[in-house]
Amino acid sequence: MENADTILDQIRAKIGPPPRKTGWFKPSPWDIPEPDWMKTATLEDEPMKEIVSGLKSLWKHGVIVWGHLVRANTGLYASGEDDCPGTVIFSPTASDGDTYKTLPGLAEKLHQLRASIFPVEEWTLRESEWGEDLQNDMSYHRGFKLPETWQLGNQDYKGSNVLFHRRHLPDGFIQSRFLPMLVHPITSIAQVVPAEVWPAELKENLAGDNGFADD
């Protein structure tokens, strides 16, 4: 995308800079409900509940960045009813253009870790941790730093689990590896920016980006 370094500015202008105001008892305007599979679970049994409970703070303090899909529940690649989890990588500090150029290569490295047979002696500790994490479909993380040897300068690339709300996705399912994300700068809780506020140009550019990561 030629204008990846500026296109997110249109979303930033539309929703305003942080901190954004909400009423004392009002939820985030991008609030999502707990899916049925989450409702009866405790936080100890289902740590993704903290994503839903953290959405108001995310709306208030979150920053708009490019995210890149690493993996997602297979049901999210087609129309359906259930909201499901996935993993996205991003940087809260790198420029939009640098992030857009860098994320695909980082995602490919993560795919290679996931496809490897353990143990691999040459891996760093963080590479081993990511490899184990990606092979565990029940893992949960937020703000999990990518290996230091992968980082470019001080760009702080991280990964977080995301609860994908179908009403926030174009046509209700994932159609692109790249997604505009709202990310909390401290907790790294993240959610997809609802498609209703995407610029038309963004929808057109991402529509043809269907090189998904395998789940």
Round to whole Å and give the CA distance between 210 and 77: 10
Q: What is the pLDDT of residue 205?
A: 77
Q: What is the pLDDT of residue 212?
A: 43
Confidence of residue 211 (pLDDT cuts 50, 70, 90): very low
Q: What is the tens place of the pLDDT at every residue in 101-159? A: 999 999 999 999 999 987 788 999 999 999 999 989 889 999 999 999 999 777 899 99
Task: Report DSSP letters for 55-77, one per residue.
Answer: HHHHHHH-EEEEEEEEEE-GGGG
87 against 1, higher pLDDT: 87
Give the tokens for residue 96. Answer: 């939009």
Does residue 36 register a pLDDT over 90? yes
- Domain range list for the chain: 8-13+47-207
Does residue 215 register a pLDDT over 60? no
What are the contacts of 150-153 at 24+ separation with CB within 8 A?
Answer: 150/106, 150/109, 152/94, 152/98, 152/102
Task: Report DSSP letters for 126-184, one per residue.
Answer: HHHHHHHHHT-TT---SSEEPPGGG--TT---EEEEEEE-GGGSGGGS---SEEEEEE-
Q: What is the pTM of this model?
A: 0.92
Provide the mean pLDDT of the chain: 91
Does residue 14 register a pLDDT over 80? yes
Q: What is the pLDDT of residue 24?
A: 85
Q: What is the pLDDT of residue 120?
A: 86
Round to whole Å and give the CA distance between 129 and 155: 20
Q: What is the tens place of the pLDDT at every residue in 48-104? A: 999 999 999 999 999 999 999 999 999 999 999 999 999 999 999 999 999 999 999
- Among 141, 170, 181, 131, residue whose Cα is nearest residue 50: 141
> Who's near 125: CB < 8 A, 6+ residues apart?
none
